[in-house]
Amino acid sequence: MKKYIILLFILFPFLSKAQSVSGVVFSHEANGKQPLPGVNVVWEGTSEGTASMPDGSFTLKNKPGRNKLVFSFVGYESQTVRVSDNDPLEVVLQPNLELEEVTVIQKDRGTYLSVINPIQTENISGAELHKAACCNLAESFETNPSVDVSYSDAVTGAKQIKLLGLDGTYSQLQVENMPALRGLATTFGLTYIPGPWLESIQVSKGAASVLNGYESIAGQINAELKKPDSEEKLFLNVFGNDEGRYEFNGNTNIKVKGDTLTTGIFVHASDVSKENDHNHDGFLDSPLSSTFEVANRWKYNNHRGGMAQAGFTLLWNDRMGGQVGANSDMIPSVDNPYGVNIETNRVDAFFKSGIVSQDNHRALAILTNFARHETKSYYGLSRYDADETRFYGNLVYTQDLDLAAIHVLNSGASFIYDDFNEMLYNQDVQRTEKVPGIFTEYTFKPSDRLTLMAGIRADFHNIFGNFVTPRMHFRYQFADHYTIRTSAGKGYRTANVISENTFLLANSRPISWTEDAVQEEAWNFGFAFIQNYKLLDRDLSINAEFFRTEFQQKLVVDRETSSEFIYLLPSTEKAYANSLQFDVRWQPVKRLDMLLAYRVNDIKETIGGELKDAPLTSDYKGLINLNYTTNLKKWMFDYTIQFNGGGRIPRVYEEWMNRADIAGDIFEFSPYTIMNAQVTKYFRYWNIYLGVENLTDFTQSNPIEGTDDPFGENFSATNIWGPTMGRKIYLGLRFNLNYE
Amino acid sequence: MKKLILLFTMAVFIGFAGNETFAQKKENKVVCFKSNMDCADCEKTVTEYLKFEKGVKDLKIDHVSNTILVEYKDGKNSDEELAAAIEKKGYKADKITKKEYEEIVAKNKKEE
């Protein structure tokens, strides 16, 4: 860390103090540039300035503390220009073709589908993140039609996401375009990013760009955190719910040297110490936990094409689930209550830097991150301890092959180092992955309407050998209202057999594996059709998409063949996932945003020699989200309803289960509905929100089986398909102060 | 449970209906200013600040024509206090009549 800071200081440019600024203003006309007289030139935020002369020239005295000039002229787009050195400025103003009577403040778009990005991407903005309680990344998807969030078991509180109906492990998780929260962090990683630290989230489905590695199979989720050079000076958030969960979040940005060097400090603390057992099964509905996180990040931007960012995050997390009365001090034993205790310490660090050439046609970027993760845990009588050290580095060189940037080439090299030490059932597992790789990606963009992207990468894995990852994307807006997208690509990932499935330890059957790491391999194909219209003068967007993932090799969790073990085995037998989704976004009434979505999942894999529906996965999902804001956005109302389809419960077949009166409920779960609502009131510097999660108080009946004898052979807390927590009412407060 | 849904529906209804009826019920006062914001960010700053001034019901702020129109509940605020609020943010607030405002806006439109 220290090294980076020193580096930042070395990179500092030696700015000379200019006495005055001069330059020429032009207008952009059909026959070229013309000098533009009478243009207002003022220092931003002041009324001090001048007007351009008949030949378009101007001279202006420097003003201490101000470094941005605003150029404005009736009929032209205003332009703000940063003044950084003595060189005369040349400013070209564009005619303002859409000069409107008055600019009406538009409602912030919550989630929108990008039509420009060649990859099918949903952008979840800060406005959308305000719609739900949103305590951490896992909970940010409540209003999203594409991502499903569920608990993986009934005791640890681990949240699992699904994209295209496939487990979250098949989606590459990124923080600011760098793979993050992998390996040991897979199980709880989503809860490690506090919601208030987030700026936006991008969910892209299907094959991703080869620049980010070979890993994404179902898609990619990228979390952008708040930037230190943003206008936010101070942000504070407190949150509490009626189940005894309390949170505090705070962050501040400091301008160390104007907007050249800035730093942001982040703090998060959360605590659940109230024991809740609403269904009276003797087990906590959700674990007790305490988390503390701090982060510090720096950004250097010389505003002349050079940029560098660095930062670190420290995390302490302790959770205790299981029977009421279990605590982290007790010794795991059949004489004590059944407990699940997980203690995690983690440090993350990153450094990235980029240089853009003077002519804007070449750029070089380096992205690196580092993580150290330590976990000590027990699930009943089974102990699981692990640590991981990981390093990632990626170097990308971008080059425009022609002046108009119709042909662009991105190429580079990457390196992954990942070292694991695990201990389960007193058995040591050690593994080190070292993967150097090279890649190149060609983009063809002859106009705003068409993009073709083709990429290929080769990776040289020390355990799984060499492999090639080809990927292709195509986007075409063939008419004003219609855009199509197609994608095809291969993906690989290392399944960390034990760490990704630790939640299965909350079960009487021990897990059994043959290899501690398996390379999974799949093809993904996608097609999307987007229509954009104006209906009653408001944007209407209709999206239809289909994705198919076909596995060549998959780690299959078999919990239904043997009554002795849960098998975790690599399989090359048939496994696929089809996902068909429709969504419609419109404003039926002014300032009332409506989202209707429906998705059908067809996810199958071969378990015990038979092609079956993936267990514990709903076969469809419907979503309606309504968001209304009053004029000037002083109040905001949100309502979300999710319709989840039924699915299959994996069980080892036993004679008695065949009885006609119980058969249905044992092997299948029924569709269920979840509702959430929230009201937010905005004030000048703060806002208050009151909401309710799971309004209808629906919970899965008997989430834990065999509760009367948790150390006995019928105990299972892993057949979870629905919510284990009932209605929760929450109240929160946000305070923010901006720089001006 | 039913009660809760009912309560929520009512709350939403009051939110919707209340907002509309209040807006029409009482005659609001309108004041217009000529300003010197010049940039889009400045427009945003003024908007975010003015919308939370007492009694403000609607705003039309434009940095291109440099005009500000504030609609507010009579008695809750005054033209002078609103002008002071704009000046506090560092911008001019020269009071103009609604007619002058409309002329500037119309002129801006014509010059396009």
CB contact under 8 A, B52 and A684: yes
The helix/strand/coil state of A287 is coil
Q: Which domain does B45 fall in, by range?
A: 27-111
Across the interface, do B63 and A679 touch by the CB < 8 Å criterion?
A: no
The pLDDT score that the predictor gives to residue A393 is 95
Q: What is the DSSP string of A273-339?
A: -----TT-SSB-SS-EEEEEEEEEEEEEE-SSSEEEEEEEEEEEEEEEEEBTT--TTSPP-TTSPPE
pLDDT in tens, A493-521: 999 999 999 989 988 999 999 999 999 99
Between A352 and B21, where is the model more confident?
A352
Can you give the pLDDT at residue A142? 81
SS3 for A2-65 is HHHHHHHHHHCCCCCCCCEEEEEEEEEECCEEEECCCCEEEECCCCCEEECCCCCEEEEECCCC
Q: Is residue B11 part of a domain?
A: no
| Distance of residue B18 Cα from the nearest chain A Cα, in angstroms | 10
Q: Tell me chain A's radius of gyration from C-alpha atoms.
A: 28
Q: What pLDDT, in 10s, does the model give residues A553-608?
A: 999 999 999 989 999 999 999 999 999 999 999 999 889 999 999 999 999 999 98
A42, A47, A99: residue with CB nearest B64: A99
CB atoms within 10 A of CB A247: 23
Indicate if the pLDDT at residue A258 is higher than 90. no
Q: Which chain A residues are closer than 8 Å to B63 by Cβ?
A: 72, 78, 103
Subunit contact A44:B39, Cβ cutoff 8 A: yes
Q: List the structure tokens of B33.
A: 């200013």
**Over residues A622-641, mean pLDDT:** 92
Say if the Cβ atoms of A101 and B109 lie within 8 Å.
yes
**Predicted confidence (pLDDT) at residue A75 exceeds the cutoff of 90:** no
Residue B98 falls inside a structural domain:
yes
Residues of B in contact with A99 (CB under 8 A): 64, 108-109, 111-112
pLDDT at B6: 61
Cα dist. A314→A252, A295, A371, A573, A638 in Å?
Answer: 17, 6, 10, 42, 34
- pLDDT at residue A685 above 80? yes
Whole-angstrom CA distances from A8 to A354, A646, B64 are: 13, 55, 39
Select the residue of A80, A634, A679 nearest B39 (Cβ to Cβ).
A80
Cβ of A635 under 8 Å from any chain B Cβ?
yes
Is A442 part of the contact surface with chain B (CB cutoff 8 Å)? no
Residue B58 lies in a domain: yes
Cα(A543)–Cα(A483) distance, integer angstroms = 10
CA pseudo-torsion sign A354, A488, A203, A443 = positive
Contact in structure between A388 and A418 (CB atoms under 8 Å): yes
Which residues are within 8 A (CB) of A265 and not within 5 positions of it... i.e. 6 or more apart?
A: A251, A252, A254, A294, A295, A296
B64 and A47 within 8 Å at the Cβ level: the answer is no
Beta strands in A480-537, from DSSP E residues, in sequence order: 482-496, 511-513, 517-535
Kindly report the CATH number assigned to the domain that includes residue B78.
Answer: 3.30.70.100
> Does residue A717 carry a pLDDT above 70?
yes
Q: Specify the residue for token string 């044992």.
A: A666
Task: Determine the residue type at B80.
Answer: E
Other C-beta atoms closer than 10 Å to the C-beta of A451 total 20
Is residue B18 in a domain?
no
**Cβ(A509)–Cβ(A189) under 8 Å?**
no
Q: Which of A311-315, A336-340, A445-449, A609-613 has the highest mean pLDDT?
A: A311-315
The candidate with the shortest Cα–Cα distance to A544, out of A612, A604, A497, A485, is: A485
3 state DSSP class of A435? strand
Supply the pLDDT for residue A644: 93
What ranges do the domains of chain A cover?
2-93, 225-734
CATH number for the segment(s) A2-93: 2.60.40.1120
pLDDT digits (tens, 9 = 90+) for A356-402: 887 778 889 999 999 999 999 999 999 999 999 999 999 999 998 88
CB burial string A108-118: b at 16+ within 10 A, e below:
eebbebbbeeb
Residue A288 in this model has a pLDDT that exceeds 90: yes
- Interchain CB contact of A105 with B (< 8 Å): yes
Distance of alpha carbon A321 from its chain centroid, rounded? 27
Find the mean pLDDT for residues A225-243.
Answer: 91
Cβ–Cβ below 8 Å for B52 and A103: no
**CA distance to partner chain A, nearest, from residue B38 (Å):** 6
Q: Is residue B4 part of a domain?
A: no
The share of chain A scoring above pLDDT 70, in percent, equals 91
Query: In this predicted model, what pLDDT tens digit does every residue of B10-33 receive, in sequence order?
Result: 555 555 555 544 545 557 888 989
Provide the 8-state DSSP code for A723. -
- Look at residue B67 and tell me if it is in a domain: yes
Taking 70 as the threshold, does the pLDDT of residue A15 lie above it? no
Q: Nearest residue on chain B to A77, judged by CA atoms? A: B64
- Identity of the residue numbered A152: S
Give the predicted TM-score (pTM) of the model: 0.81
C-alpha closest to that of B63 among A48, A80, A24: A80
Confidence of residue A433 (pLDDT cuts 50, 70, 90): very high
The full DSSP string for A664-681 is HHHHEE--EEEEEEEEEE
Q: Cβ of A32: how many Cβ atoms within 10 Å?
A: 8
Cα–Cα dist B102/B112, whole Å:
16
- Give the total number of structural domains in chain B: 1
Contact A332, A383 (CB under 8 A): yes
Query: pLDDT, tens digit, for every residue of A114-147?
Result: 555 667 777 777 777 777 666 788 888 888 888 8
Neighbours of A644 (CB within 10 A): 24
Please report the pLDDT score of residue A638 as a whole number.
Answer: 93
Superfamily of domain A225-734, CATH level 4: TonB-dependent receptor, beta-barrel domain (2.40.170.20)
Residue A42: which of B16, B38, B56 has the nearest Cβ?
Answer: B38
Residues A642, A14: Cα–Cα separation, whole Å: 57
The answer to whether the CB of A120 falls within 8 A of the CB of A528 is yes
Across the interface, of B5, B39, B112, the residue whose CB is closest to A78 is B39
Q: Is A740 on the interface with B (CB under 8 A)?
A: yes
3-state secondary structure (DSSP) of residue A724:
coil
Q: What is the pLDDT of residues A97-108, one digit of tens each?
A: 433 333 333 445
Tokens of A322: 């299981």
Instruction: Provide the mean pLDDT of chain A.
Output: 86
In angstroms, rounded to a whole number, what is the distance separating the alpha carbons of residues A206 and A526?
6
pLDDT digits (tens, 9 = 90+) for B69-102: 999 988 888 888 888 888 888 888 888 888 888 8
B62 vs A639: CB contact, 8 Å cut-off? no
Domain assignment present for residue B19? The answer is: no
Angle, CA of A252, A257 and A258, to the nearest 5°: 80
Taking a C-beta distance cutoff of 8 angstroms, is the pair A139, A132 a contact? yes
pLDDT above 80: residue A709: yes
**pLDDT value of residue B4:** 60
CB contact under 8 A, B52 and A683: yes
Residue located via tokens 């103090």: A17
Parallel/antiparallel/unpaired status of strands A159-163 and A482-496: unpaired
Q: Given this model, what pLDDT does residue A664 score?
A: 63
CA-based nearest residue to A145, from A689, A634, A701, A541:
A541
**B→A interface, C-beta within 8 Å:** 1, 4-5, 8, 11-12, 15-16, 19, 23, 36, 38-43, 45, 47-49, 51-52, 56-65, 67, 69, 89-92, 105-106, 108-109, 111-112
Query: In this structure, are residues A254 and A233 in contact, taking their beta carbons and an 8 Å threshold?
Result: no
The pLDDT of A675-693, averaged and rounded, is 92
Say if A50 is an interface residue toward chain B (CB within 8 Å): no
8 Å CB contact between A576 and A604: yes
Question: In chain B, whose CA is at the least distance from the CA of A682?
Answer: B52
pLDDT of amino acid B1: 55
Contact at CB, A632 and B23, closer than 8 angstroms: no
B42, A44: Cβ pair inside 8 Å?
A: yes
Helix-strand-coil split of chain B, %, nearest 5? 55, 20, 25
User: Looking at the complex, does the CB of residue A697 fall below 8 Å from at least one CB of chain B?
Assistant: yes
ipTM of the complex: 0.74
Closest Cβ–Cβ partner in A46, A47, A695 for B4? A695
The pLDDT > 90 percentage for chain A reads 51
CA distance A648 to A653: 13
Judge whether B60 lies within some domain. yes
